[in-house]
């Protein structure tokens, strides 16, 4: 570790010393990150190849870890994706910054080519063994099985063992890691939370998973549409930091600045370059080669670009899960009472196109003690669950800023609402800004938080209709109890005033029971009608149609306060023909 070595150190060496920055800061995180990187890659690869993903996961504790307080964990992830060519294997798993997705302005999960190589490194460092890969492309006659390790000094992958095997599928990839870690299943950093979240935002995913010796769980896909990945967009200059810009310059190398502007970016027209001259840009630079620009000139170029007004980037590049698919997917969260989903149209936030989608669900059969617990928040960035450092995240800030009480949920001031709810918020954008390298916290810019807030509020409003409906059902029940309680008192009072015989009273009680029976029938029928109307309403998809449905329902369930001594049932439904509205008038008349 002498300083001379560090100067020539490879990217791999750098990362191997800083694994904590990329998701390996603890045992539980190591398991989650490894799993996540593998699944991300599988999903990305399937999407790219227009394949409906089938992913199989096995996670188990196999023994003692090499480090204190660590277990040895085995993680296996296999997919039905396009497979990886033999020539790429070493690169993919053993080399940092080797990605087919880098800087392409797509909403893919992996972005930088760090993830899976970091997992290999971690396995190598803690279990002295890299990753075992089985892969087969359509063209390969046989599958290839190999152990791949990272040559940290050279930032190169080396294939240690390599053999051809027959495999049970025409194409796909399977990776297996052994490494030091700790299994955490539930809770915010839990593996099950990750798998649940991943299945929620990937309705087209069929997922089977087996954890330890437990029975395998199978989550079938709920959508048969392959994801239409929007075309990649060239980066928008305003979405880049100086470092990224300079990196971008290096990628292009020996081309003219003119050419760099045209090929490397969206939205830089000749009008823009004219405008840039007012901000320190020299027209003559256009014909110079990028590599000839001095560091200082590169800075000036960057600054001039940031100083001009540019058209906002196109929103076409952003992918939406969609309300329909999301609705179907919600059921995979567990036993769901009811839910609402909102899929916003693409918006520009901080000069970047972004799509926000929200699902809020109430889970069934949660013990009542949990009512007081905060709702579970599932955060997603480009359909990857975010499970750590939630406090500063834009999504959490937005959820906390919403007044959930208005939708019938309990909420401590400026906090996440309480109860057996899941609030899932997905942000998709080719340019998500994270607060740190481990990509767990979305930067909370005002514009993004506001957009998130709008989406969450819409979902809350929709949800409140379910909650109100539920209250209505409870109301009917209360009404029936009400008459059961007071009817007999009424009859006894009448009996005392009229000195009626016991026989008369008995008959009157029977009469009351008959009336009561009719009332409960009517109440039940009303409830059924309300439920039907409700189903009709939720059957409609799309945010716009839902707002119409909202007003429709408002009209049919208008509640009014009855000024009567009967405060307990003062809320009533106009549909309930039995309610004597006129009583209200009489009392108010004498006010």
Ligand X SMILES: Nc1ncnc2c1ncn2[C@@H]1O[C@H](COP(=O)(O)OP(=O)(O)O)[C@@H](O)[C@H]1O
Footprint of other proteins on this chain (CB under 8 A)? 479-480, 482-483, 485-487, 489-498, 500, 504-505, 507-508, 510-512, 514-515, 519, 523, 562, 564-569, 572, 578-580, 582-583, 585-591
Nearest residue relative to ligand X (C-beta): 110
State which residue, 31 or 537, has the beta carbon closest to ligand X.
Answer: 31
- Stretch 105-124: interaction string toward Mg ion, x if CB under 5 A: -----x----x---------
**How many alpha carbons fall within 13 Å on the CB side of residue 478?**
13
Look at residue 173 and give the partner it binds from ligand X, other proteins, Mg ion, none, a contact being a CB closer than 5 to 8 Å depending on partner kind.
ligand X
Quick one: which H or E segment has residue 74?
Answer: strand 71-79
CB of 458 to ligand X, least distance (A): 32
Q: Which of 395, 403, 410 is nearest to 359 (CA)?
A: 395
Look at residue 493 and give the partner it binds from other proteins, ligand X, Mg ion, none, a contact being a CB closer than 5 to 8 Å depending on partner kind.
other proteins
State which residue, 40 or 323, has the beta carbon closest to Mg ion.
Answer: 40
State which residue, 45 or 448, has the beta carbon closest to ligand X.
Answer: 45
CB of 133 to Mg ion, least distance (A): 14
Look at residue 132 and give the partner it binds from Mg ion, ligand X, other proteins, none, a contact being a CB closer than 5 to 8 Å depending on partner kind.
none
Angstrom distance (rounded) from CA 361 to CA 376: 10
State which residue, 165 or 515, has the beta carbon closest to other proteins.
Answer: 515
- Secondary structure (3-state) at 10: coil
How many other C-beta atoms can be found within 10 angstroms of the C-beta atom of residue 331? 14
CB of 325 to other proteins, least distance (A): 43
- Secondary structure (3-state) at 377: strand
Those residues with Cβ within 8 angstroms of residue 353's Cβ, 6 or more apart along the chain or in another chain: 312, 313, 314, 315, 316, 317, 318, 346, 347, 429, 430, 431
218 burial (CB, 10 Å; 0-12 / 13-18 / 19+) is exposed
State which residue, 40 or 79, has the beta carbon closest to Mg ion.
Answer: 40
State which residue, 64 or 436, has the beta carbon closest to ligand X.
Answer: 436
Look at residue 309 and give the partner it binds from other proteins, Mg ion, ligand X, none, a contact being a CB closer than 5 to 8 Å depending on partner kind.
none
Kindly tell me which residue out of 41, 132, 155, 429 binds Mg ion, with binding defined by CB under 5 A.
Answer: 41
- State the residues that interact with ligand X by CB under 6 A: 37, 41-42, 44-45, 79, 81-82, 84, 92, 98-101, 110-113, 115-117, 173
State which residue, 42 or 234, has the beta carbon closest to ligand X.
Answer: 42
Q: Which of 18, 128, 131 is nearest to 66 (CA)?
A: 128
Helix and strand tally (H, E) in the chain? Answer: 16, 16
Look at residue 525 and give the partner it binds from ligand X, other proteins, Mg ion, none, a contact being a CB closer than 5 to 8 Å depending on partner kind.
none
In this structure, are residues 201 and 355 in contact, taking their beta carbons and an 8 Å threshold? no
Q: Which region among 36-44, 51-59, 245-253, 439-447 touches Mg ion (by CB under 5 A)?
A: 36-44
How many other C-beta atoms can be found within 10 angstroms of the C-beta atom of residue 506? 11
3-state SS of 561-576?
ECCCCCCCCCEEECCC
Look at residue 79 and give the partner it binds from other proteins, ligand X, Mg ion, none, a contact being a CB closer than 5 to 8 Å depending on partner kind.
ligand X
Phi, psi dihedral angles at 367 (to 5 degrees)? -60, 150
CB of 514 to other proteins, least distance (A): 4
State which residue, 96 or 260, has the beta carbon closest to ligand X.
Answer: 96
CB of 521 to other proteins, least distance (A): 13
How many other C-beta atoms can be found within 10 angstroms of the C-beta atom of residue 238? 18
Q: Which of 188, 183, 189, 187 is nearest to 214 (CA)?
A: 183
State which residue, 41 or 121, has the beta carbon closest to Mg ion.
Answer: 41
Angstrom distance (rounded) from CA 257 to CA 290: 6
Phi, psi dihedral angles at 27 (to 5 degrees)? -60, -45
Q: Which residue in this structure is represented by tokens 């039940």?
A: 524
CB of 583 to other proteins, least distance (A): 5
581 burial (CB, 10 Å; 0-12 / 13-18 / 19+) is exposed
Is 198 a residue that touches Mg ion (CB under 5 A)?
A: no
State which residue, 125 or 480, has the beta carbon closest to other proteins.
Answer: 480
Q: Which region among 35-43, 87-95, 174-182, 329-337 touches Mg ion (by CB under 5 A)?
A: 35-43
Binding site for Mg ion (CB under 5 A): 40-41, 110, 115
């Amino acid at each position: 570790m002498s300083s001379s070595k560090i100067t020539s150190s490879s990217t791999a060496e750098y990362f191997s010393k800083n694994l904590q920055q990329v998701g390996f800061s603890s045992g539980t995180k190591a398991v989650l990150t490894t799993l996540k990187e593998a699944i991300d890659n599988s999903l990305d690869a399937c999407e790219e190849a227009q394949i409906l993903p089938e992913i199989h996961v096995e996670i188990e504790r196999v023994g003692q870890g090499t480090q204190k307080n660590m277990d040895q964990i085995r993680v296996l992830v296999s997919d039905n994706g396009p497979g990886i060519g033999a020539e790429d294997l070493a690169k993919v798993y053993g080399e940092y910054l080797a990605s087919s997705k880098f800087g392409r302005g797509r909403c893919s999960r992996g972005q930088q080519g760090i993830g899976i190589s970091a997992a290999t490194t971690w396995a190598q460092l803690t279990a002295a063994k890299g990753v075992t890969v089985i892969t087969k492309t359509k063209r390969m006659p046989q599958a290839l099985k190999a152990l791949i390790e990272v040559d940290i000094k050279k930032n190169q992958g080396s294939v240690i063992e390599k053999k051809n095997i027959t495999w049970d599928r025409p194409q796909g990839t399977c990776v297996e890691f052994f490494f030091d870690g700790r299994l955490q299943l539930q809770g915010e950093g839990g593996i099950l939370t990750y798998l649940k979240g991943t299945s929620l935002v990937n309705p087209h995913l069929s997922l089977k998973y087996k954890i330890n010796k437990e029975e395998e769980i199978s989550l079938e896909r709920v959508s048969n549409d392959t994801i239409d990945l929007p075309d990649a967009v060239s980066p928008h200059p305003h979405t880049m930091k100086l470092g990224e810009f300079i990196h971008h310059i290096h990628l292009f190398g020996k081309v003219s600045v003119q050419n760099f502007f045209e090929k490397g970016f969206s939205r830089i027209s000749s009008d823009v370059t004219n405008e840039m001259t007012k901000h320190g840009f020299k027209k003559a630079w256009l014909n110079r080669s990028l590599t000839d620009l001095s560091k200082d000139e590169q800075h000036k170029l960057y600054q001039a670009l940031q100083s001009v007004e540019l058209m906002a980037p196109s929103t076409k590049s952003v992918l939406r899960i969609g309300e329909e698919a999301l609705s179907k997917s919600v059921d995979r969260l567990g036993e769901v009472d009811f839910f609402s989903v909102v899929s916003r149209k693409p918006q520009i936030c901080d000069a970047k196109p972004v799509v926000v989608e929200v699902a809020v669900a109430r889970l069934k059969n949660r013990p009542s003690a949990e009512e007081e617990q905060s709702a579970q928040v599932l955060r997603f960035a480009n359909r990857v669950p975010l499970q750590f450092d939630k406090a500063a995240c834009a999504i959490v800030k937005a959820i906390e800023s919403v007044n959930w009480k208005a939708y019938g949920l309990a909420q401590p001031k400026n906090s996440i609402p309480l109860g057996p709810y899941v609030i899932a918020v997905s942000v998709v954008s080719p340019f998500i800004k994270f607060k740190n390298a481990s990509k767990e916290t979305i930067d909370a810019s005002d514009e993004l938080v506001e957009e998130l807030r709008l989406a969450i509020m819409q979902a809350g409003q929709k949800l409140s209709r379910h909650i109100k409906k539920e209250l209505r059902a409870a109301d009917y029940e209360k009404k029936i109890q009400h008459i059961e309680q007071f009817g007999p008192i009424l009859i006894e009072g009448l009996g005392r005033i009229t000195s009626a015989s016991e026989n008369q009273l008995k008959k009157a009680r029977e009469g009351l029971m008959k009336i009561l029976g009719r009332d409960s029938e009517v109440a039940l029928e009303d409830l059924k009608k309300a439920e039907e109307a409700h189903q009709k309403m939720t059957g409609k998809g799309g945010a716009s149609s839902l707002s119409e449905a909202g007003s429709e329902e408002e009209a049919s369930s208008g509640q009014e306060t009855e000024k009567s001594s009967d405060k307990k049932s003062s809320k009533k439904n106009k549909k309930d023909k039995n309610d004597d509205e006129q009583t209200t008038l009489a009392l108010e008349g004498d006010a």
